[in-house]
Amino acid sequence: MGGASASVAASGSAAALRRAVVDTEAIAANVSRVGALVAPAAVMAVVKADGYGHGAVPAARAALDGGATWLGVADVAEAIALREAGIRAPVLAWLHGHDPVFEQAVAHDVSIGVSTRLQLQRAADAGTPTAPARVHLKVDTGLGRNGVERGEWESVFQAARDAVGNRRIRVDGLFSHLSNASDADDLAQLDSFEEATAIARSLGLDPTVRHLASTAGALRLPATRLDLVRLGIGLYGLSPFDGVDSATLGLRPAMRVESRLIAVKRVVAGTGVSYGYTYRPDVDTWLGLVPLGYADGIPRHVSNRGSVWVGGAAHPIVGRVAMDQFVVDLGEHAAKVGDRVVLFGDPADGFPSADSWAEAAETINYEVVTRLGSRVKREYPVLVNRSEGVPA
């Protein structure tokens, strides 16, 4: 089984009841892999939502070590957390509240994704001639979420030009987001983005960094790579495509979620298992109890559908997943209390994948890793410390 049977030297307590072991070397390797593929476009590593559940600071450092030159987060607070950890690489934050205030973003040299006239005005208010706000203008090219609407491109670009003239902002970038609905839809968005670029330049703006593609677009449609690609789910070694696994894309899943059996019991055929008795074994069998539940982000939808790794093989989750625990049918496997349980990890090591869990839960792999709760302790066997994110 290779890595499936190897012990892990974790940075935290070896006795952690619930843990997510994060391979920072895999994150660095994933950046390097995608970076080589999309060159000369640069790579922005997206570490929002605590690094998709992997830990924002360790993921950011690993990504920079792998060659990323930008970091992306949802909001300014996430960006400031990176700064407070000593990371100095360029960071873009693009999701803001209804009444945004950007003084802290400017003070911490965080680039601001601007999607509305109000956000542009607030960025200009926060900037000064000696410390202008760094801005990436976002345009809506068809996704229907945030971004300046087509009918306002000219007026917002003109307002941005005026703020640049007053030395209150610097327009460093122009960006949008693909729908990933189809190649045709995404290429239509690319055409729209090129139109926005032309309008911005005709009005005197010169965005030096244009970005449109996230992992899916970057891997599937080379034309969308432009100057920079935003590497999100691919950063963590997971595939953005249905029916295409990580290995096919040359990516390594970075997270392994595991625990230990805390109870093992023999039951007779027909014994009801967990709430509602939604499972009764057809034959006498061994059951194992795992101390993880929906309070830890384990989808209740995997009840009677998902599986975990115990003793070198997959065993089904049976009965309803509860708040703090779930049951596994071990069959005739000679398990004992304390045996290692892997919920998901790298299938190259023989483990169930985040993709298989997503299929069982009728969701996507993004949600499987991101939803893990705070009781699941993140551990980093190999921390990448060579880069503190200071630009050369």
Spell out the domain ranges in the chain.
Answer: 24-245, 255-379
In tens digits, the chain (392 residues) has pLDDT values of: 333 333 333 344 456 899 999 999 999 999 999 999 999 999 999 999 999 999 999 999 999 999 999 999 999 999 999 999 999 999 999 999 999 999 999 999 999 999 999 999 999 999 999 999 999 999 999 999 999 999 999 999 999 999 999 999 999 999 999 999 999 999 999 999 999 999 999 999 999 999 999 999 999 999 999 999 999 999 999 999 999 999 999 999 999 999 999 999 999 999 999 999 999 999 999 999 999 999 999 999 999 999 999 999 999 999 999 999 999 999 999 999 999 999 999 999 999 999 999 999 999 999 999 999 999 999 999 764 434 444 33
Check residue 389 and give its pLDDT: 45
Cβ-contact 339, 251 below 8 angstroms = no
Question: Annotated catalytic residue: which of 48, 52, 279, 380?
Answer: 48
Q: Is 255 annotated as a binding residue?
A: no
Nearest in space to 282 (alpha carbons), one of 272, 269, 271, 273: 269
**Does 255-379 match 24-245 at the fold level?**
no
Residue 48 annotated as catalytic: yes
Residue 60: Cβ within 10 Å count: 29
Residue 138 annotated as catalytic: no
Check residue 16 and give its pLDDT: 83
Check residue 345 and give its pLDDT: 98
Q: Is 1 annotated as a binding residue?
A: no
Cβ-contact 384, 55 below 8 angstroms = no
The CATH number corresponding to 24-245 among 3.30.2020.10, 3.50.50.60, 3.20.20.10, 3.30.450.20 equals 3.20.20.10
Check residue 14 and give its pLDDT: 53
Check residue 133 and give its pLDDT: 98
255-379 — its CATH code? 2.40.37.10
**Bond into 40 cis (ω within 30):** yes
Question: Annotated catalytic residue: which of 138, 236, 265, 275?
Answer: 275
Nearest in space to 11 (alpha carbons), one of 23, 28, 29: 23
